[in-house]
Amino acid sequence: MNATTRRAFLKSTTLAAAATALRGSVLQGQSLPGQVDASIEVMPGEAIGTISPEIYSHFIEHLGGVIYDGVWVGPNSRIPNQNGIRTAFLDAMRAVQAPLLRWPGGCFADSYDWRDGLGGASSRPARTAFWGQQETNQYGLHEFMHTCRAIGCKPYLAANLRTLPARDFYQEVEYCNAPAGPVPSHSAAPAVPNALATQRAANGDPAPFNVDLWGVGNESWGCGGNLSPEEYAAMYRRFTAWVPTYGSPLRLVAVGPNGDDASWTRRLFEALHDGPDDHRMWGLSVHYYTSGSPTKFAAGDALQYGAGEYYDLLTRGALMEKVVTDHWQAMGSVATHPNSGKNAVKLVVDEWGAWYGKGTELGEGYNLSQQSTMRDALLTGITLDIFQRHADKVAVANVAQAINCIHSLMLAQEEKFTVTPTFHVFKMYLPHRGAQAVRAEFTAGSIENPLAATAAGDSYSGSADAVRSLAGLSGSASLAPGSNGKRLTLTVVNPHLDRAMTTAIALRGAIITGATGTVLASADVHDHNDFAHPDAVHPVQAKVSQPVAGRLVHSFPAASVTTLQLQLA
């Protein structure tokens, strides 16, 4: 990025606004060491909700180099593997304690026959699949379940609603979840085994997979069938009516909007509301990709960007907050729980990430693979903080995708492998999972989006007005489970390219007695890891000064993501 652009841009950072806001903050009248640029006030007494560990979930699709090469190298490969699954992939997924893995798509799911991936490797058919690739079906349902088992995570299956009938969905659930062994049918008849459970056992897995989370189609407004909300609602009823549960309820996820299209959500809920199947929806899927252009499919370059593109991308990414609240409102306007009056359905943001244009693919055949820089690490922090601030609304979120596709945590090509800066942010946010999200107020000047004026009305992410500015500092706070309110995690993103933010941190009704931290930052925001330099970008211990009078002053470096662990009294 050139220095002139950067300087010109930085003039628009509203420093004065920050100082003015600080005068009215909780720190007013406190003697603070020197000048501060921002403040954070945390309210431990104002609980938002428990942060679902499943908001740090993942997604793999039969697309480009995601499954073949990324996840599946085959049992006879020279690449280190566990029964065909790349060992480095498993290790990284374990390192981020992946709670949930979504499969097989994406758009791929709606033309996939789950039966094609069963049985001996040589008997599986090869077919032309959604993304134009020849699908060999060497990686199927059992291989996916073994992947989840090896990681220690739960499976999340996307069912085919476009090209298979409802009977196949019903039977896929039966194949996965029916108990093995003889099952009583009628008191007068002998117990007999279930045919699909027997087939599963013959394929190597006698114990049921117990899949409880099911996506009923994918993007049915687009690749999943070009349906209207009303058409999809009718399909949803038919597919979900009387699906067998084997003693524990299924978590069924309905297809939600394209980006911020709240009218899809309202119409879908209206079409399903008061119907007999209302209660069958556990979650609504939301897909929100970030790009610097008016469509999600052409988004600038992953590696080459100036200050304008940098801030524009982050500003659009921060719109996730609007997407979450818009859809929460739309759902709540139609379907609330009869007793509590609260929303009866949770949000499942099962695809998100920065999606760039072509140019940084790993190679031919690695469709939609792209490099990932510090900019993407910041977007990851901003997004996870949004989910945490809305812990009462967002139950599941899956970054798209875990490896070799869009906003990946890992890149792999044959024996070469690296984690991306995004992987590190997932690790840094681990202390938030299962914790109690509490309200925190960030007071910092906002940053004007230098490209806002050129942003035309954007049907994907909302209006151009929504992308005018970006918070100069953002983040989220949570109280650690079992700590009796004594341990607080604070994650903070400073998006300023050239400016550290000296920030006064205080708690309402509590004092800080100690602090430690981890920070991810780099000399240049374009920095990234590649196969030759897999450790170029990595987090380090943050220099944290000790609190004075129960408060902390901390400097968040330019273009950084920080996790602070605070001890409270």
41 binds ligand AHR (CB under 6 A): no
CA distance 421 to 520: 8
Contact map string, positions 474 to 513, toward ligand AHR, x by CB under 6 A = ----------------------------------------
CB of residue 349 to ligand AHR, shortest distance in Å: 12
Contact yes or no for 143/203 (Cβ under 8 A) = no
107 binds ligand AHR (CB under 6 A): yes
CB of residue 125 to ligand AHR, shortest distance in Å: 22
Comparing CB distances to ligand AHR, the nearer of 105 and 308 is 105
CB of residue 217 to ligand AHR, shortest distance in Å: 10
Comparing CB distances to ligand AHR, the nearer of 256 and 495 is 256
- Which residue carries 């897995």 as its tokens? 205
CA 87 to chain centroid, in Å, comes to 23
CB of residue 358 to ligand AHR, shortest distance in Å: 14
Please identify which residue in 351, 376, 448, 458 interacts with ligand AHR, judged by CB under 6 A.
351
106 binds ligand AHR (CB under 6 A): yes
Comparing CB distances to ligand AHR, the nearer of 335 and 409 is 409
- Which residue carries 């950084």 as its tokens? 560
CA 416 to chain centroid, in Å, comes to 25
Residue 113 has φ and ψ, to the nearest 5°, of -105, 110
502: part of which helix (H) or strand (E)?
Answer: strand 501-507
Contact yes or no for 396/95 (Cβ under 8 A) = no
Which residues share a beta bridge with 344? none
- Which residue carries 């791929």 as its tokens? 108
Evaluate the CA torsion angle 253, 254, 257, 258 in order and state its sign. Answer: positive
CB of residue 151 to ligand AHR, shortest distance in Å: 20
217 binds ligand AHR (CB under 6 A): no
Comparing CB distances to ligand AHR, the nearer of 99 and 217 is 217
218 binds ligand AHR (CB under 6 A): yes
Closest CA relative to residue 490, chosen from 20, 99, 39: 39
Q: Kindly give the residue spans of alpha helices, DSSP state H, lying in 128-249.
A: 141-151, 166-177, 195-202, 229-240
Contact map string, positions 306 to 345, toward ligand AHR, x by CB under 6 A = ----------------------------------------
Using the rule CB under 6 A, give the single segment among 9-17, 101-109, 471-479, 488-496 that binds ligand AHR: 101-109
CB of residue 218 to ligand AHR, shortest distance in Å: 5
61 binds ligand AHR (CB under 6 A): yes
CB of residue 290 to ligand AHR, shortest distance in Å: 13
CB of residue 412 to ligand AHR, shortest distance in Å: 17
CB of residue 258 to ligand AHR, shortest distance in Å: 9
> If you count them, how many residues does the chain have?
569
283 binds ligand AHR (CB under 6 A): no
Long-range contacts of 4-12 (CB under 8 A, 24+ apart): 5/306, 5/307, 5/308, 6/307, 6/497, 6/498, 9/307, 9/308, 9/311, 9/450, 9/497, 10/307, 10/496, 10/497, 10/498, 10/499, 12/447, 12/448, 12/450
Please identify which residue in 65, 70, 105, 557 interacts with ligand AHR, judged by CB under 6 A.
105
350 binds ligand AHR (CB under 6 A): no
Comparing CB distances to ligand AHR, the nearer of 46 and 361 is 361
CB of residue 175 to ligand AHR, shortest distance in Å: 23
CB of residue 58 to ligand AHR, shortest distance in Å: 12
Comparing CB distances to ligand AHR, the nearer of 406 and 542 is 406
Is residue 214 classed exposed, middle or buried when 0-12, 13-18 and 19+ CB atoms within 10 A define those classes? buried
Contact yes or no for 368/132 (Cβ under 8 A) = no
Contact yes or no for 388/478 (Cβ under 8 A) = yes
Comparing CB distances to ligand AHR, the nearer of 412 and 559 is 412
400 binds ligand AHR (CB under 6 A): yes
260 binds ligand AHR (CB under 6 A): no
Contact yes or no for 377/354 (Cβ under 8 A) = no
Q: Which residues contact ligand AHR (rule: CB under 6 A)? A: 61, 105-107, 218-219, 287, 351, 400-401, 406
